[in-house]
Structure 1
Amino acid sequence: MRLTLATEPAYPDRPNEDFIGATPDAIVLLDGAGTPADLKSGCSHGVAWYSHTLGSTLLAGMTQSADSLTTTLAAGIKATASMHDFCCDLSHPGSPSATVVMLRRTADTLDWLVLADSVLVLDLLDADPMVICDEREALTGNRYRGPMNAAAGGSPEHLQALSRYMEAMRAHRNVDGGFWVASVDPLAAEQALTGTVPAALVRATAILSDGASRLVDRFGLATWRRALDLLDDSGPEELIRQVRLAEHSDPGGERWPRGKTFDDATAAYLVLP
């Protein structure tokens, strides 16, 4: 088994709110949901603390227990919430949150879990790549993206529209009819997409935060097949490098309207024996 991974913050002077961790049999990726500075969160620790703490808790749980990934995620959310329950306002709608991807090999199978908009891609031996992404956040966000997409990236108008967008999305987070992320409620784990696939049918897997997957699903500069080949030939660092080139070529978001001009980007690529 060959595993390569890379992660890079959106800006070198800001914390990386992504988390990536792996053991010989498990991989965990979290993408912390960063918020504009003018929106309060009720938490003194911040998004990077949350994603890194929950991520390491999940990785330990996956390797120390045979519980389902859903059960492990619920326990991890509960344990992480308990670490700052008495010093932070966990009832605040802006409490830190994160997307989650979990992948574990057990005997002859691969078990997977995806919550929110990070991406898992299974490179199947005799079929097209299987792309797994929870699209509920994107579908909800489409109602509010108009003003943000219309403003030039980085402009005062864009920053104001981004804040309004994030505030509007808070009302739909972890509620029926909205979208689900890891935050303070363990019941969110029950909303994750899950599945199992025979390991013998899978050539390789890719796990991507949306800052890395945007090369395909937002910029359209590669297909999933091309992205898998790029990861296999040149590694995750090259995929992220190509994302950065695209971002720098369109700083105002004229070609690719987006909330974040640059985003934390994380990619892991696992080749099965």
Structure 2
Amino acid sequence: MNMFYYDSICDGSSMINEDVANINKHGAWILDGATGLNGKNLIDKDSDAKWYVKQWDEYVNKNFHRTDIDLKRIVKEGINVVKDKYYKRVKDKCVKSLDLPSSSIVLTRWIKDTLEYFILGDCTLIIENNNKLNVIKDDSVTRLDNKVFQAMDEIMRKEGKTLSEAKKEVNNLIVRNRLLKNTNEGYWILGFDTEAVDRGLYGKIPFSSDTKLLMASDGFSAITDRYNYIDMENLIHEAQNKGLDNLCRKLRQIEEEDSSGDKYPRFKKNDDASAIYIELMNRVN
């Protein structure tokens, strides 16, 4: 399979971008990092999550060529590599579960006439192949977040509090949800637990014609599954026809017009937004 066109964006919401969107000749990947809830940066002065996704970006870039093993095996080995680096840097500091960085991740890799994918967390993968559209996403994180947003919305409407004030009011619920990380009752995400890999979304899809795919972090896919600007099924066509930059500008416009969070309660005004759009061509064509 040959990649014959791609577009990518990794738009940070602040000076510290905790997303990664990258691509090489073997595949593409997006990481959406999350720092621990205790507000501590134990190994990086800017952001532990930024350090974490950087380590994964380097690891994936170096290991995507290993077609003798599948993506699940690559991720499992990567967890041990990054975990070892983390604890060597953290040294003798007292580390609690809520301190640990984590990340959502979506990986795609093309091997001959097959697309291989792996997802943990709330990243989205949309594949158009043989005139069929397939949206692949784990909604576990989204369901938990929506409960928090509903509680924030009620506080803002009934008590007249701001977005940041409402978030503080529901902090216990946010912590409770985060403690469900990598459990059957909660959600599975890229952290330091290799068991999570077996709970991720994994698959291989054979191709017989030109194929398009769109990968996105939740900060980017919010334009459809949070702000309802466009249907998820049409997002890949908008990426193809208008480009990711234009979609991201529209995303930021929506967030700016609702900077108070009255219409769309959320954890913060803007989130890091990353996406990759790729057109693939089967080698036999």
TM norm structure 1: 0.90
Residues 148 and 259 in structure 1, CA contact (< 8 A), matched pair in contact too:
no
1:238-257 to 2 correspondence within 5 Å? 238-257=246-265
How far has the Cα of 1:147 moved from its partner?
2.7
Structure 2 vs 1, CA of residues 195 and 154 (structure 1 numbering), >3 Å: closer, same or farther?
farther
Query: Quick check: 2:27–2:108 contact (8 Å CA) kept in 1?
Result: yes
1:43 counterpart letter in structure 2: L
Q: Deviations over 1:222-248 (max 9, x none)?
A: 113432122112221111111101111
Match of 2:42 in 1: 43
The answer for the alignment partner of 1:18 in structure 2 is 19
Residue from 134, 137, 149 that aligns with 1:130: 134
What is aligned with 1:178? 186
> Is the Cα contact below 8 Å between 1:43 and 1:95 reproduced in 2?
no
Structure 1 residues 67 and 91, CA gap change in structure 2 (3 angstroms):
farther
Q: Decide whether the 8 Å contact of 1:162 with 1:259 is kept in 2.
A: no
Which residue of the partner structure matches residue 265 of structure 1? 273
Q: Is the Cα contact below 8 Å between 2:108 and 2:116 reproduced in 1? A: yes
Residue 102 of structure 2 is matched in structure 1 by: 97
Regions of 4+ moved over 6 Å: none
Equivalence map 1:128-167=2 (5 Å): 129-152=133-156, 155-161=163-169, 163-167=171-175
TM-superposition CA deviations, 1:23-62 (whole Å, max 9, x none): 12210111012466xx245732311110121122123212
Shift of 1:142: 4.1
- The DSSP-based 3-state class of the residue aligned with 1:28 is strand
Q: In the aligned structure 1, how far is the partner of 2:41 from the partner of 2:97?
A: 6
What is the alpha-carbon distance in structure 1 between the residues aligned to residue 96 and residue 209 of structure 2? 44
Stretches of structure 1 lacking an aligned partner (at least 5 in a row):
none
* Correspondent of 1:9 among 6, 12, 15: 12
Moved more, 221-230 or 234-243: 221-230
- What is aligned with 1:29? 30
Task: Work out whether 1:68 is the aligned partner of 2:70.
Answer: yes
2:113 matched to which residue of 1? Answer: 108
Conserved in 2, the CA contact under 8 Å of 1:41 and 1:93?
A: no
| Conservation of the 8 A alpha-carbon contact between 2:224 and 2:230 | yes
Q: Structure 1 residues 231, 146: CA separation in 2 closer, same or farther (over 3 Å shift)?
A: closer
3-state DSSP of counterpart to 1:245: helix
Q: CA deviation at 1:149?
A: 3.1
SS of 1:251's partner is coil
Q: Which amino acid aligns with 1:25?
A: H
TM-score, with length taken from structure 2: 0.86
Counterpart CA distance in 2 for 1:201 and 1:220 is 31
Question: How many pairs align?
Answer: 268
CA contact (8 A) 1:97 1:183 kept: yes
Paired AA for residue 277 in structure 2:
Y
- Matched ranges for 1:70-85 at <5 A: 70-85=72-87
Deviations 1:108-132 (A, max 9, x none): 11001111101000023322x2111
